[in-house]
Amino acid sequence: MSDLNIQLCPETGICSIVKKDGNKIDLVSEEVSQIRDASGNPDTIRQTLAQIDSGFAERLDSGEIGQISNELK
């Protein structure tokens, strides 16, 4: 599993997800809520991320999707 740097601001609910290679995606609070609602469903999480940045979503492996799901519960 690749370690992602997942930063969630408690005040705004905005989240940044950064891969080791520097690729990054930023989520607004509504998008974070969508990922939380999809917890445990990797396909839905990937689809949610693809709506924001399809290239970023395509490059995520299953371990990274799992990490996002676990950390944004």
What's the one-letter identity of residue 57?
Answer: A
Tell me the pLDDT of the chain (73 aa) as tens digits: 458 999 999 999 999 999 999 999 999 999 999 999 999 899 999 999 999 999 999 999 999 999 999 999 8
H helices present in 1-73, as ranges = 29-37, 42-52, 54-58, 62-71
CA–centroid distance for 22 within its chain: 14
Q: Which residue has the tokens 């950064």?
A: 18
